[in-house]
Structure formats: structure tokens, C-alpha cells
Amino acid sequence: MKTRINKIVLISFMILFVTQLWAQNEKHTSRIPLLNEDAPAFTAESTRGTIEFPGDYGRKWKILLSHPADFTPVCTSELLELARMQQEFKDINVELLVVSSDDIDLHKRWVKSMEEILEKENNPVKIKFPLIDDSKFDVGWKYGMLTPSAGSFTAVRGVYFVDPNNKVKAITFYPLEVGRNMDEIKRMVIALQTAEKNTVLVPANWKPGDDVLLPYPKTVDHYEPSNYPAFYMMYTKLDK
């Protein structure tokens, strides 16, 4: 009888241990959100105060740009360009947010340094978008921004496009050595907005004002083929 009780206790302990281990792993699982999934919500401190994402941004497009560290030259060049273009993004209903795994104090010193650089260019722009303190990797875990590096984790250089319905619409990643093209990021948002608003497709190398593609036809004779290169390649102009 005593042996049986000991076995039950041992089995119960093993079940409890495995359950706790599973819960711990589940809590720390980091994966990249799939397209059209809800953008993971988070609360964080930033250079512009406490942020509730995405709730604070209402019916706007949101772009999250992740960085591995402050004061890195490539990332600095990107944020300087974002500062120069921040009004252009505002004009197309886009809010910019920068995520870095350094703390808020270092973020503030980085912002001050970058604004001094802009001042020297005779372009005295203030950086109005927030730099988020992700020193505990909370945002990094939720967005799959972290990659193992020498026994620790490093935030990857990603760009996450989130629409007004708070759905993830596009994600891109860049290596440490190559700066992101801010004009391309802006073009991506405009292309996504254009496709959604007009129920069309956007072809290769598209620029605002170019012809767009009609959705893939349900049948061969869905469109009048004589006006197009092929029944599945139907270009059209958008009303201005």
C-alpha cells in the first residue's frame, strides 16, 4: 500500500513538473506574427511617455522599426532619415514607433545626439516619434524580433506594418550591415493603402500614380482580353 502511494506521489510530482515546464516555455515562446493576424498588444515606456500599443493610435497605420542597440551607425542613419521624413508619414496617416533593447535613459541621449546632428545640417528637426524601452525584451518576444547570439539574444532589424484594424499586413527584415530604405517603406504603406482602398493589386516596381492590376480573374473570360497583355494580367488606371 505504501509503495503504491509513493508511486502516485511520484507520478503527481512529475506531472506538476512537466506542466510548469510547459507553461514556462509557452510563456517565453517568441514567434513572428503571421500576416493578417492581430498585432500583439503591449505597454511600454518610451521617449514620448507610456505607450499602449496599438490602442493609443486609433484608426492609423502603424510602423514598428526594431533596432539591436542605440548609437549604432546604420540605425542612426535610418532614424535621421525618419526624422527628416516624419511629416511625410504623418501626411499618409502613419505613426512611426522605434523599438530598441536599450533603456530609456540611453534612448534620450541618443535622441539628443541625433537632433544635434540634424541641427548641424541646418535642419533643426525634433524627433517626434517614440523610441521604446525594450530592455526586458517584452516587445521583442511578442513580435519574434529576437535571435540567439552567443548565448544571449539580439533584436533583429525588422519593420512591421500594422493597418488601422490592427492587423499585421507586412514584415521585412534587414541585416546589420545594410540600412533600410525609408522611401521603400513609405512606398510599401502607400501600396498597401492603395490595394485595400481600391480592391486592386500592385505590380512590381509600382510607384504612386502608376497603373495597377485587377484581381486575378475567376474565369478566362472574366475580363475583356483584347485590352490586356493576357487574361490574367489586367492593368488599369486609378481615378485621381
pLDDT at res. 31: 87
Decide if pLDDT at 230 tops 70: yes
pLDDT at res. 234: 86
Check residue 144 and give left, alpha or beta (phi > 0: left; psi -120 to 50: alpha).
left
Decide if pLDDT at 91 tops 90: yes
Per-domain residue ranges for the chain?
A: 1-29, 31-180, 199-240
Q: Is the peptide bond before 54 cis (omega within 30 degrees of 0)?
A: yes
Confidence grade of residue 188 (pLDDT, cut at 50, 70, 90): very high
Mean pLDDT of the chain: 86
10 Å Cβ neighbour count for 229? Answer: 9
Decide if pLDDT at 210 tops 80: yes
Asked whether 35 and 171 are in contact (CB, 8 A), the reply is yes
Nearest to 33 by CA among 144, 112, 156: 144
Decide if pLDDT at 5 tops 90: no
pLDDT at res. 147: 72
pLDDT at res. 97: 98
Confidence grade of residue 22 (pLDDT, cut at 50, 70, 90): very low
10 Å Cβ neighbour count for 191? Answer: 19
Rounded to the nearest 5°, which phi and psi values hold at 162? -125, 130
Confidence grade of residue 153 (pLDDT, cut at 50, 70, 90): low
pLDDT at res. 18: 40
Lowest mean pLDDT among 84-98, 133-147, 149-163: 149-163
132 against 13, higher pLDDT = 132
Residue 102 carries which side chain, given as an amino acid letter?
D
Collect all residues with Cβ–Cβ distance below 8 Å to 101 and sequence separation of at least 6.
67, 68, 69, 134, 135, 137, 140, 154, 155
Element (H, E) at 26: helix 2-27
Confidence grade of residue 17 (pLDDT, cut at 50, 70, 90): very low
18 against 95, higher pLDDT = 95
With the C-alpha atoms ordered 44, 50, 56, 60, is the resulting torsion angle positive or negative? negative
Of the candidates 44, 64, 65, 75, the residue annotated as catalytic is 75
pLDDT digits (tens, 9 = 90+) for 107-145: 999 999 999 999 999 888 999 999 999 999 999 999 998
75 is catalytic: yes
Decide if pLDDT at 27 tops 50: no
pLDDT at res. 19: 43
Decide if pLDDT at 24 tops 50: no
Asked whether 137 and 146 are in contact (CB, 8 A), the reply is yes
CATH 1.10.357.10 fits 31-180, yes or no: no
